[in-house]
Amino acid sequence: MDEHGFVTKKITCTHQIIDKLKNIRIDDQEPTEDNPTITGGSSSGSSNQNNNQPQAGVTVTKTSEKETYSLESCLHKFIDNNDQGVKFEIHGAFPSLSVDQKGSLYDWITQNFKAFGAYWIPDGLTLKVYDLATLTHKTDRVFRYMSNMTGVDIDYNFQDIVNDCWVYGGKMKKDITTVSDGSDGSGGNLDNVEEFAKSPINANFGVNKETMINDFANRSQRVHAWGVDVNRLYDTVKNAGVSPEWFFAYELQEQGTGWGWLNHTYKHGDAYSDAVSVCNWIKECSVSDTIKPAWNAPEGSMPPNQALADKWNKEFGKGSIGRVYLQGTAAAVWDLAGVTPNPAIGKPITGCVSTIKGWGGHTQQAGGGSWGWPFPSVGEGKFMDAQLFGVHAGNGRPNNFHDGLDFGSIDHPGSEVHAIHGGTCTVSRAWGNGGINWYCVIQDASGLNVEYQEAFSSASDIFVNVGQKVKTGDVIGRRNTSHLHVGITKMNIQQAFGHAWSNDGTWLDPLQIIKNGGAGDSGSSSSSSSQPTSSTTSEEYYSLVFHYEDQESIKQYDRHRGKPIVEDSIYDMNALKQYVENTIQHMPATVLTIDGAHMSDIQKGDQIKLIAPELQLDVDVVLMGIEGP
């Protein structure tokens, strides 16, 4: 509106299809925790240098964490001791951000003040910095057209508006490490549901592969819906470190097509990518420090039972099927607990055992299976240094080296000695000199020997016979001495006794092997093909994700989609949302210019009522700049 009262408009038009075309987007999907980028998965033999052990477990790290700086600290870095006489004042509250402090201060202000939500006003050589709330001064003053102003010009720019986009922040890396005793998926047990649940997640159940492949291809709903090559799926699951026999049987208990494999969560990519994602979930659950049973589900529930939870935590060691099933499927919890909250829900573990047997599967005893504690009611318990494996100063042994782990009758009470690992008894009721006394040995398919000594005061206190198959948790003898000594080695047991005082890799650390589900140092005499191995799969993803929509902007100006905003180094959701609010142009860029204003003592930051009926304006405006004398 000019000084003569004429309303004038300059309009730059774009065809409506332009905005529609901008809203049709194909953007790369950023990885999230539910759908991460997956790398690794290859296996490596464990090291015997300096007693380094592969550790089973999950490690989560922030990959892009950077130091954040307050706006005040950034300005101090530029302005303190400058040779230009420039000072600054800061007023208001501002977020801390990860920003570089380099280049000219003017360029830095231009590039970064918007992200901080900061405004600046020069006062001589003093830079005064405000947030909008602090800058704004409410007044009762009014600019009224043709009263104390002669012209109004409003410039709207809709070109860069964005009011709809996805936002990602806080880049993470999750390393999932599983360990095995070096055997190729042996140790599967189908004797009953409890023993099945003790089997390792990569167990081999000796099925007829062709029978299984054909049956699964015929019965799996997802195979038909997704057009899956079952042989390729078999290889994908096996290479991911999970038993295909169990995976296929598990899937047939679940069925459906609305979710991904095993009904774990939504489908991640194609059928094979989704299988890898589900296998990573399986491996992560299998190495959890504690089993947290899924007592409840939408279909039913049972009261939490701490005694059962404690029992299962002792029975189903790291790397076992039970450790996964109990946390992932409420129906599996009910199955093992022997309860039926909902008769319409099947028994998945029982169903798995029956299905695998139908494919010709049978118990594979000699593989060893999972690992456990010799006194399950105590579990790991506590040890003094002298009881631990390895070199410990002052333990009274030659070279201060202890070749095994001692379970004392005081710190680990109980008389029944349980097998810590399955296999075949190769030595029973043998006598060893030098304090070994009566002992027995259980050897698994990889040649790993677990030796039990010093617990038995007579040969009759050892219950297993040579050639007998033993499962993890079986009672193999009766302790009636002060302690049980457990030794683990890949070497011939008689030869290994000659290395009792030598820290040369012959003897392995039982505590680490049991805790990690089957990995320890390998002696130099062991075959490289059967050494304990570790496998680490890495997942990268953004921990913070939200869909930004400004409903007020969408209502007024229609929807304007923008490309995803990705900030690797912001790990706080509130900070990420504030960053987006400060930086995204969700309203049209608007500049209001008032000409011929007549008002004294006005200053930047004053909030003034603007009234121009001819332009349908009756709004509060904040004065951001003044030109003229």
**pLDDT for 302-320, tens place per residue?**
999 999 999 998 888 888 9
Question: Given a cut of 90, is residue 338 above it in pLDDT?
Answer: yes
- Report residue 221's pLDDT band, with 50, 70 and 90 as the boundaries: very high
pLDDT for the residue 479: 96
What length does the chain have? 629
The 3-state DSSP class for residue 598 equals: coil
201 close to 324: Cβ distance less than 8 angstroms: yes
Average pLDDT, integer, range 522-534: 42
Question: Given a cut of 80, is residue 190 above it in pLDDT?
Answer: yes
Give the span between the Cα atoms of 179 and 52, in whole angstroms: 14
- Report residue 629's pLDDT band, with 50, 70 and 90 as the boundaries: low
Which residue, chain included where needed, has tokens 């003897």?
507
Average pLDDT, integer, range 561-568: 94
Question: Given a cut of 80, is residue 451 above it in pLDDT?
Answer: yes
Q: What are the beta bridge partners of residue 592?
A: 154
Question: Given a cut of 60, is residue 80 above it in pLDDT?
Answer: yes
pLDDT for the residue 352: 95
Give the span between the Cα atoms of 603 and 625, in whole angstroms: 8
Give residue-wise pLDDT tens across range 9-65.
566 667 777 778 888 888 888 888 878 887 765 555 544 444 455 566 778 899 888
Q: What are the beta bridge partners of residue 402?
A: 390
Show the beta-strand stretches assigned E in 101-258.
119-123, 126-130, 137-144, 151-157, 164-180
Please tell me the least confidently modeled range out of 28-37, 293-302, 323-332, 374-383: 28-37
pLDDT for the residue 525: 32
pLDDT for the residue 524: 32
* Mean pLDDT, all residues of the chain: 85
Question: Percentage of residues in the chain with pLDDT exceeding 70?
Answer: 85
Average pLDDT, integer, range 231-236: 94
Question: Given a cut of 60, is residue 526 above it in pLDDT?
Answer: no
Per-residue tokens: 544: 């913070």
- Report residue 536's pLDDT band, with 50, 70 and 90 as the boundaries: confident
Cα separation of the two ends of the chain: 22
Show the beta-strand stretches assigned E in 368-436.
390-391, 401-402, 405-408, 416-418, 423-432
Give the span between the Cα atoms of 210 and 214, in whole angstroms: 6
Give residue-wise pLDDT tens across range 409-440.
999 999 999 999 988 999 999 999 888 999 99
228 close to 236: Cβ distance less than 8 angstroms: no
Per-residue tokens: 628: 């003229």
Per-residue tokens: 83: 């040779």
- Burial-class residue 233 by CB neighbours within 10 Å (0-12, 13-18, 19+): buried
pLDDT for the residue 169: 94
Average pLDDT, integer, range 383-387: 92
Average pLDDT, integer, range 170-198: 77
Show the beta-strand stretches assigned E in 518-560.
533-549
- Report residue 529's pLDDT band, with 50, 70 and 90 as the boundaries: very low
Q: What are the beta bridge partners of residue 87?
A: 126
pLDDT for the residue 368: 58
Average pLDDT, integer, range 208-233: 95
pLDDT for the residue 395: 78
- CA-nearest of 488, 500, 418, 497 to 53 is 488
Residues with Cβ within 8 Å of residue 303, at least 6 apart in sequence? 295
Let me know if domain 385-531 sits in CATH 3.90.180.10. Answer: no
Give residue-wise pLDDT tens across range 290-301.
999 999 999 999
Question: Given a cut of 80, is residue 594 above it in pLDDT?
Answer: no
Question: Given a cut of 80, is residue 7 above it in pLDDT?
Answer: no
- Report residue 243's pLDDT band, with 50, 70 and 90 as the boundaries: very high
Question: Given a cut of 90, is residue 598 above it in pLDDT?
Answer: no
- The more confident residue out of 602 and 331 is 331
Give the span between the Cα atoms of 251 and 356, in whole angstroms: 12
> Beta strands 606-612 and 164-180: pairing type?
unpaired
Which of 56-60, 88-92, 189-193, 536-540 is modeled with the greatest confidence? 88-92
Average pLDDT, integer, range 339-345: 90
Give residue-wise pLDDT tens across range 64-78.
888 889 999 999 999
Question: Given a cut of 90, is residue 602 above it in pLDDT?
Answer: no
- Report residue 128's pLDDT band, with 50, 70 and 90 as the boundaries: very high
Average pLDDT, integer, range 511-533: 54
